[in-house]
């Protein structure tokens, strides 16, 4: 699944997050990109086992994972590059539609389903869905298989300090309205992803996450 050299490259990148270093390690970067492309193709090849809509969707493998370079508005700190990459399995676009993902980062790997970095229009649709059907999300989070795989429920990578303008603090969906994108995640040991059998575990995780994708479809 994930090649050992990919983990090595990402770990080295985290410690040497500079353009000069990246330029000097283009071969290793290109090898990692080929690995991400292969993973994206594998996830879509097995998609009929967790989501028929993804299986039927066309795939552009090189557009199915996040890029290393970070735009200034997306940066945390001064790092130019991401030292962790998300590989997607989506029926739509990963910044517009909910879908499945595998996050690859040494010591911080996880998988699940999410819309973690929504466009402005996608975030508006997400919030409307939350307000229109807060009980639907609550019921989905109570599904035993979902709770077993994702005990933390719904999580986000960025949260606001207050409910956004135009929404009420008393709205039942208020805790989720503060989330700028949301999803679920299952932590994975790096060693698991080095094995070919990792795809079986990912299928199990994605099956459990599929109700979240369908809820926001």
Residue 72 has a pLDDT of: 57
Tally the residues of the chain: 217
Angstrom distance (rounded) from CA 58 to CA 76: 33
Cβ neighbours, 10 Å, residue 112: 25
Can you give the pLDDT of all 217 residues of the chain as single tens digits?
999 999 999 999 999 999 999 999 999 999 999 999 999 999 999 999 999 999 998 877 778 998 887 665 565 567 788 899 999 999 888 889 999 999 999 999 999 999 998 999 999 999 999 999 988 999 989 999 999 999 999 999 999 999 999 999 999 999 999 999 999 999 999 999 999 899 999 999 999 999 999 999 8
By C-alpha distance, which of 67, 150, 169 is closest to 110? 150
pLDDT of residue 171: 93
Confidence at residue 81, expressed as pLDDT on a 0 to 100 scale: 86
| Residue 214, pLDDT score | 92
| Domains of the chain, residue spans | 4-215
* pTM for the full predicted model: 0.91
DSSP track, 33-85 = HHHHHHHHHHHHHTGGGT-HHHHHS---GGGSB--SB--GGG-STT-SB-SSE
pLDDT at 60: 79
């Amino acid at each position: 699944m994930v090649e050992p050299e990919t983990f090595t490259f990402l770990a080295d990148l985290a410690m040497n997050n500079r353009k000069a270093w990246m330029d000097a390690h283009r071969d290793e970067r290109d090898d990692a990109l080929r690995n991400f492309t292969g993973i994206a193709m594998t996830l879509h090849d097995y998609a009929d086992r967790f989501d028929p809509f993804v299986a039927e969707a066309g795939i552009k493998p090189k557009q199915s994972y996040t890029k290393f370079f970070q735009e200034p508005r997306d940066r945390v700190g001064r790092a130019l590059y991401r030292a962790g990459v998300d590989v997607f399995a989506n029926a739509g676009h990963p910044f517009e539609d909910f879908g499945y993902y595998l996050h690859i980062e040494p010591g911080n790997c996880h998988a699940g389903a999410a819309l973690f970095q929504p466009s402005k229009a996608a975030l508006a649709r997400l919030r409307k869905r939350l307000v229109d059907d807060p009980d639907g999300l609550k019921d989905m989070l109570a599904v035993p298989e979902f709770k077993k795989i994702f005990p933390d429920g719904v999580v986000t990578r960025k949260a606001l300090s207050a409910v956004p303008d135009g929404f009420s603090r008393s709205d039942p969906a208020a805790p989720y309205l503060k989330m700028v994108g949301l999803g679920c995640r299952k932590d994975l040991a790096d060693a698991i992803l080095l094995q070919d059998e990792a795809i079986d575990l990912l299928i199990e995780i994605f099956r459990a996450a599929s109700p979240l994708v369908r809820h926001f479809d």
